[in-house]
Amino acid sequence: MQSVTLGWMDYSIMLIYVGAVLGIGQALRKYMKSSSDFFLSGRSIPAWVTGLAFISANLGALELVGMAASGAKYGMMTCHFYWIGAILAMTFLSVFMMPFYYGSKARSVPEYLNMRFDGRVRCLNSITFAVMTVFASGISMNALAKLLQSLLGWDYHLSLWICSGVVLLYVLKGGLTSAIYTEVLQFFMIVLGFSPVVYLGLKEVGGWSVLKEKLAGVATNPASIGVGDKAFQPDAWTGAWSPMIQGASANPMGVDLFAMVFGLGFVLAFGYWCTNFLVVQRAMAAKDMSAARRTPLIGAIPKMLIPALVILPGMIAAGLAFSNKDNKDGYRLPPKVIAESAYVNVVAAVKHVAATGVTGETAVQQIAKAAGLKMMSGKVDEIIKASPSLSDAEIKARVQNAVAENDYDGVILSLIKRYCPTGLLGLALTALLASFMSGMAGNVTAFNTIWTYDLYQAYLAKGKTDAHYMWMGRVATVAGILISIGCAYFAAMYNNAMDVIQLVFGFVNAPLFATFLLGMFWKRITATGAFWGLLLGTTTSAIFHALTLAIGNAPGVKGGYLGVVQSFPSEMAQNFWLASFAFLTCLVLTTVLSLATKQNKTDAELTGLVYSLTPRIPQADEAWYMRPGVQALALLGVCLVLNIIFW
């Protein structure tokens, strides 16, 4: 990707932002007087702040980049990651699960598991979650450093360490409170930074109605912009439900109704939003039970509208590419970048086929083999004809432009470069910077809490002073940042590192939700049943992945490494079915093992931890419209309207 040059205004915006987040950390340092203040913000933060932080902690740059990529590749169906894959689970968390988390006085999700079951379940969840957080943080920072390197020409190592250092400073000073307040700032930066891109993109393409016409062309001729070879119905890129109802083969995502509703809408969504301590921690920092329950509901309001900010740009990019498909100098979806080490062979291959007179498909295949990527036949023919008068650098540039495979992750960056002059460019890049740092800070604050409370205090150093645990929390913060940097360097060696971590999230969170669902709503579930059900459920889901594969993928990290028993039309479909399998397996095993073992907790010990044994929360002093159940129904109603509008 060609680097861009920042002006003084762009640098000023970025420096002001960095100064602001460091200032927040410094200002909050004097309030960090106990471990509760550092890890849980002293349970003192108002609901509107925790609600925005709840969303911002999830709105990392990998999501911004990834959702724009999916918008171009799959269209409107990507919105289900927000509407079906978030809103219902967030309302469920508010109405049913937050009373247990907050009311039990648990300091973390694993601590709740210890109170409900025993230390085995707590330890298993703590270890898996701690590992996932540092890997997710490292992968995010690796992506940021690569982005700054490719877009601005900055040194990878310097970018990685400086950005990590900024996060370390404000989290170390202000703990979770600092992370939460900076996440609120980051939320507004993301909105301000990306809104101009959406507005200018829609304006260029001609508005929503014209964009729908362009995307209808993409659906009937996806090969024209390189998003696939199979034609679909005209509404495949603009309908949220109609393409899916016709079956997995009728939509570019390759997902049917059951996989979407049960796999994503129930298992993956509830598994993430209801059990992931990264987001639940924000609600647990609220000042009281009412604020804690309103946190996910407040977060759900912008969550429903975020697709316009992160998915619509990808759809705009696809529409623009279709409009310019016959204009060789017009916009196209960014191509995958040829590895620098391959260019010597690429230039040599071009000169060879030109000198030997090889033409047609044979020439294209030789150059494609040298580049390691598929090439556009027409553009390759033009390069071969012009090659005698081209320098090596010109051949390199033209061959890169002839790559037929799209780099969907580069979509949002290509739009930023297209629409953002000096000033707006700084704002957009600061939004990306904010989203990456928000994701890293969220993971690090979750890591230091889990390590200190659920591993160090629980198993390694019981009975120490509060000051000692606060000191350990700061040590864990530094360690978490350093381990994340190590994970970033590890991720830099692999193109599929994000696929691996997403896969691990899939078969850890899905069975974990089954454990929570049974444990919270059925008192008969035992600690032995929960532990072995969770462990075996996770293991069998890994086996499921090892025996399945998406069509078009080679056996390996993406599945099928023990043999291919079942194939799926897409990776998305494979992930949704894997989550469904993992959830159902854990559900059945936990139930059977619990019925076969003795309950280790009395009803008195389970009061406040199990729904049937917990007194209902009095709501007589709240106006009816302020009650979480009423607000949840209202939000679900709005979400239903959005689904109908974009059916």
Assess whether 28 and 144 both reside in one domain. yes
Assess whether 240 and 372 both reside in one domain. no
Asked if pLDDT for residue 392 goes beyond 60, the answer is yes
Query: pLDDT tens across 339-370, in order?
Result: 777 778 888 888 887 788 777 788 788 888 88
Residue 215 covered by a domain: yes
* CA angle in degrees (0–180, nearest 5) for 553-555-557: 90
Average pLDDT over residues 241-261: 84
**pLDDT of amino acid 545:** 85
Reduced to 3 states (helix: H, G, I; strand: E, B; else coil), residue 335 is: strand
Looking at the chain, the whole-number percentage of residues with pLDDT higher than 90 is 11
Q: Tally the domains of the chain.
A: 2
**pLDDT of amino acid 443:** 84
Asked if pLDDT for residue 51 goes beyond 90, the answer is no
**pLDDT of amino acid 532:** 94
Query: pLDDT tens across 282-291, in order?
Result: 888 888 888 8
Q: Token pair of 32, please?
A: 């960090």
**pLDDT of amino acid 194:** 85
- Residue 418's pLDDT band (cuts 50, 70, 90): confident
- Give the residue with greater pLDDT, 471 vs 569: 471
Lowest mean pLDDT segment, chosen from 38-42, 415-419, 478-482, 567-571 = 38-42
Average pLDDT over residues 101-107: 79
**pLDDT of amino acid 607:** 86
Asked if pLDDT for residue 116 goes beyond 80, the answer is yes
Task: Quote the DSSP letter at residue 336.
Answer: P
Q: For the domain that residue 274 is a member of, what is the CATH number?
A: 1.20.1730.10
Residue 564 covered by a domain: no
Query: pLDDT tens across 475-496, in order?
Result: 999 999 999 898 888 877 765 5
Q: Token pair of 259, please?
A: 């996989």
Residue 541 covered by a domain: no
Reduced to 3 states (helix: H, G, I; strand: E, B; else coil), residue 255 is: coil
Average pLDDT over residues 391-407: 81
Type of residue numbered 97: M
Query: pLDDT tens across 263-281, in order?
Result: 888 888 888 888 888 788 8
Judge whether 582 and 511 are in contact, CB under 8 Å. yes
Average pLDDT over residues 18-44: 78
Number of neighbouring beta carbons within 10 Å of residue 379: 17
**pLDDT of amino acid 65:** 78
Assess whether 33 and 77 both reside in one domain. yes
Assess whether 389 and 460 both reside in one domain. no
**pLDDT of amino acid 91:** 92
**pLDDT of amino acid 619:** 63
Assess whether 213 and 348 both reside in one domain. no
Judge whether 270 and 582 are in contact, CB under 8 Å. no
- Give the residue with greater pLDDT, 126 vs 628: 126
Residue 350 covered by a domain: yes
Q: What is the mean pLDDT of the chain?
A: 83
Assess whether 342 and 428 both reside in one domain. no
Asked if pLDDT for residue 465 goes beyond 80, the answer is yes
Nearest residue to 507 (alpha-carbon basis) of 547, 538, 475, 550: 538
- Residue 40's pLDDT band (cuts 50, 70, 90): confident
Average pLDDT over residues 120-147: 84
Asked if pLDDT for residue 29 goes beyond 60, the answer is yes
Distance CA 300, CA 286 (A): 16
**pLDDT of amino acid 591:** 94
- Residue 144's pLDDT band (cuts 50, 70, 90): confident
* CA angle in degrees (0–180, nearest 5) for 300-304-306: 110
Average pLDDT over residues 86-93: 91
- Residue 111's pLDDT band (cuts 50, 70, 90): confident
Residue 25 covered by a domain: yes
Query: pLDDT tens across 201-231, in order?
Result: 999 988 899 999 999 988 888 888 877 778 8
Assess whether 370 and 227 both reside in one domain. no
Residue 524 covered by a domain: no
Reduced to 3 states (helix: H, G, I; strand: E, B; else coil), residue 197 is: helix
Assess whether 153 and 91 both reside in one domain. yes
Reduced to 3 states (helix: H, G, I; strand: E, B; else coil), residue 520 is: helix
**pLDDT of amino acid 503:** 64
Instruction: Please identify which residue in the block is written with the tokens 């454990």.
Output: 515
* CA angle in degrees (0–180, nearest 5) for 401-570-135: 80
Asked if pLDDT for residue 239 goes beyond 70, the answer is yes
Nearest residue to 296 (alpha-carbon basis) of 42, 93, 445, 81: 93
**Domain boundary pick from 405, 422, 445:** 405
pTM: 0.85
Asked if pLDDT for residue 1 goes beyond 70, the answer is no
- Residue 530's pLDDT band (cuts 50, 70, 90): very high
Residue 506 covered by a domain: no
Reduced to 3 states (helix: H, G, I; strand: E, B; else coil), residue 17 is: helix
**pLDDT of amino acid 640:** 92
Assess whether 400 and 434 both reside in one domain. no
**pLDDT of amino acid 483:** 92
Residue 584 covered by a domain: no
Number of neighbouring beta carbons within 10 Å of residue 422: 12
Assess whether 369 and 454 both reside in one domain. no
Assess whether 354 and 304 both reside in one domain. no
- Give the residue with greater pLDDT, 186 vs 500: 186
Assess whether 365 and 284 both reside in one domain. no
- Give the residue with greater pLDDT, 296 vs 362: 296
**pLDDT of amino acid 329:** 65
- Residue 501's pLDDT band (cuts 50, 70, 90): low
Measured CA to CA in angstroms, residue 109 lies from 174, 449, 501 at distances of 22, 10, 20
Average pLDDT over residues 32-36: 76
Nearest residue to 93 (alpha-carbon basis) of 298, 316, 345, 380: 298
Average pLDDT over residues 555-565: 80
Provide CB contacts within 8 A for 546, sequence distance 6+.
559, 560, 561, 562, 563
Helices 497-521 and 109-116, axial angle in degrees (round to 10): 40
Average pLDDT over residues 593-603: 88
Average pLDDT over residues 326-331: 70
Task: Write a three-state SS string for 397-454.
Answer: HHHHHCECCECHHHHHHHHHHHHCCCCHHHHHHHHHHHHHHHHHHHHHHHHHHHHHHH
Average pLDDT over residues 19-47: 78
Asked if pLDDT for residue 396 goes beyond 90, the answer is no
Type of residue numbered 226: G
**Domain boundary pick from 357, 373, 405:** 405
**Domain boundary pick from 405, 427, 455:** 405
Nearest residue to 17 (alpha-carbon basis) of 197, 185, 194: 185
Judge whether 141 and 550 are in contact, CB under 8 Å. no
Domain that holds residue 344: 335-405
